[in-house]
Amino acid sequence: MALSPLTILVVIATIFLPSIAVAKDIVVGDDHGWTVGFDYSAWAADKTFFVGDVLVFKYAVGEHNVFKVNGTAFQSCTVPPPSEALTTGSDRIVLAIPGRKWYICGFGGHCSAGQKLVITVQPQTLPPTLPPAPAPSPSKDGHGFGGWVSKKILTIFH
Ligand SMILES: [Cu+2]
């Protein structure tokens, strides 16, 4: 029975899929959510963000909001027009482009009190390239099946 192209595709996908980094939801602040009195730079320090990941800002509606800003507005806590605010209490932001991203809360004094987040988004990782497979050629070297393996084992044990 010849393998259909579809079967081959499925086999290839099965081999490669587990090695591709899976986009994930990242809840900002974890259990603390998006709030005042939390150190978001410390929170972000040990994390790596990749393109395709989703930032989730969780907070009580009406108590906080989320603005995506630039580095200057981040430093000075300059709040953009209210129309740019995310306000659902569970705002999802897909990290689509690599680079630095800045977010602040627009409620009075919250940003200055530390409710601000800066992250660096890394490009999506490519699946690792497979090392070139040794080409066993049983018909040439005469050792037949396992010849390469037994040589390898001899090398290890000598
Ligand atoms: Cu706030």
CA of 101 to the centre of ligand 1 (A): 18
pTM flag (> 0.75): no
C-alpha 36 chain-centroid distance: 25
Q: How far is the CA of 32 from the centre of ligand 1 (A)?
A: 13
The alpha carbon of 86 and the centre of ligand 1 are apart by a number of angstroms equal to: 12
Q: 104 near 78, Cβ under 8 Å? A: no
pLDDT digits (tens), the chain, 158 positions:
566 666 654 554 554 554 456 889 999 999 999 999 999 999 999 999 999 999 999 999 999 999 999 999 999 999 999 999 999 999 999 999 999 999 999 999 999 999 999 999 999 876 666 666 666 655 544 444 444 444 444 444 44
Distance 6 CA to ligand 1 centre (A): 51
Calculate the alpha carbon distances from 55 to 7, 16, 28, 118, 148 in Å.
Answer: 36, 26, 6, 12, 49
**21-122, CATH topology level:** Immunoglobulin-like (2.60.40)
**Where are the alpha helices (H) located in the chain, listed in sequence order?**
5-16, 40-45, 71-76, 138-141, 147-157
- Chain-centroid distance, C-alpha 45: 14
Residue 109 CA to ligand 1 centre (angstroms): 8
